[in-house]
Structures are given as C-alpha cells and as structure tokens.
Amino acid sequence: MRKLALIASVSVALVACEDTQSPRAATAQLDAALESALDDASASPRQDAAADRPARARGPLVEPELWEVVPEAEDPFTDRLPDASCPEDAYMFELLANEPVFSVDTGRCNYITARHPALRAVDEGETLVARIWHFALNAGESARAHVALRINESDVLDESVPIPSEGGLIAVEVEAKEAYPEGTPVFFHLHNHGDNSWSLVELSAGPKP
C-alpha cells in the first residue's frame, strides 16, 4: 500500500511537469514531489510480521530417543576429561515416573556431550524451560559434577553440583535472547565422577508457563 501511494504521488508530479514550460522548474517540482512522497512513506507505520504472528503453544525442543553423542573433535565444551568414556549402553531413553527422559548412568559414563536438532523454531523473547533430575550423588571422594544445556552457542542451563549431594531437580526458566530456526543444534553436557544417574526431563519453548 505504501509503495502504491509513493507511485501515485510521483505520477501526479510527472503529469504536472508536462505542463511546466521551464525544464529547471519541472525538475525542481519533480524532486520536491519525490522527496515529499519518500518522507510520507518513511513516516507510515510498518506492519511487523513477527509481532502480528500469534504466540505458539509451548512445545518440546528435544525428544529423549533422538540424542546422539558428539565426537570429540566436534565437542563445544572444553572441560573434557583425559579418561573420558561413555559406552552406548550407559545412555538411553527411559520412563521416569511415567515421563520420557534421556538418562545417563555415570557409573559407566563419566563424560558425555550429546547433540539434538531443535524440533521447532524459537522466537526471541520466548521462555525456555529446562528440567534435569539426578538421584543421590555419591563418589569415593568429594568432587563436583558439571551439567549444561546449550542451544547453538547460548547456555540455557550451566550448573556445578557438589558430590556428595542428595537427589533433586534442577529447573530453570530463561528468556530466549535471540531467535533460533528449527534444526539449530542443542547440546546436553554432563561429566560426573561416581556411580550416579542423571535424566534430562524437559527442554521446551513457548509462552511463559
């Protein structure tokens, strides 16, 4: 609509110029008309497609059965253990209190970074919710576990948990500071000494719960 208004304004000026005897006057009149039309166009409010789009319902960004372990050469985390080991039977999809989760048995897997393409796009300003459960953490000596969730290069959750520690739920709600297209890599990172078990319960996006 703004483009049509601009064309119409300039067209009127061209018609007026045809009746003007002086070329210099005609040029000046056309320049003034074009400048006025451009000013009107820039002053008109633009429709923001993102603002007009209705908010989407909350939805998961990951599914527990779709995680894949990241090769060492592609691991974005820098605290890899020298003796890092994680056999395939140490991480799995399972049900935890009837909720589907991605679980890691750190008695057999002392270090893992897993990757998952985001199942949906995330709009800037949406609320990201993450929930991670761990059972009681035990080890032969005091230590710390590191657990993190990251979308592309942005941390959603990054926690250092003391060992020993009682079981519990780590839950965060954070605002997405930028938009992410569907398929953006999501990373789940965990390293932990001791015979412990961790479960990624949720990573979702949408309006604030």
Closest Cα to residue 10, out of 29, 96, 65?
A: 29
Please write the tens of the pLDDT for every residue from 119-178. 999 999 999 999 999 999 887 677 889 999 999 999 999 999 998 889 999 999 999 999
Please write the tens of the pLDDT for every residue from 39-97. 554 444 444 444 555 667 999 999 999 999 999 999 999 999 888 999 999 999 999 98
pTM over 0.85: no
Cis peptide before 164 (omega within 30 of 0): yes
